[in-house]
Amino acid sequence: MSAININYPAGGRSDNEIFISNVKTLREGVLVGTARLPFASTEKPVVIYGQTLASGDIEYRTVSAQCPHQGADISRDELNDDGNVYCSLHRRPICIYSEYNQAYLTEKRGDGYVIVKS
């Protein structure tokens, strides 16, 4: 599980719960799947990051697997201690747990994962 030094509330907002399909573990604390994120017209690859909180609970956050700059796949890039993933193509940060993150709070329900209404 990722251990980072900062943690701001999830900044992404969703009017509905969104089920994430085809979820599989990529590496410890990082899962991939597909979902139709808010403002998207189709289902696309997403990355789910898990972080162990001080309480021992695991908090999951989901972002698009496609970099907002030019669409590179960020799923193999590491989550850094500053709460960002730096896209391997042009090194732009994608916020997951940092101040301006647009990650969606996600819950594990049974064997599935759901972006929660927020």
Residue 99: CB atoms within 10 Å: 11
Instruction: By CB under 6 A, tell whether 70 contacts ligand FES.
Output: yes
SS3 state at 20: strand
- In contact, 82 and 17? CB cutoff 8 Å: no
Binding-site member from 69, 81, 100, 107 for ligand FES (CB under 6 A): 69
Tokens standing for residue 58? 């695991």
C-beta of 69: minimal distance to ligand FES in Å? 3
Footprint (CB under 6 A) of ligand FES, residues 71-90: 72, 87, 89-90
Tokens standing for residue 10? 């999830």
Residue 102: CB atoms within 10 Å: 17
Q: Pick the stretch among 4-12, 25-33, 53-61, 62-70 that binds ligand FES (CB under 6 A).
A: 62-70
Size of the site for ligand FES (CB under 6 A): 8
Residues that bind ligand FES in the complex, under the rule CB under 6 A: 67, 69-70, 72, 87, 89-90, 92
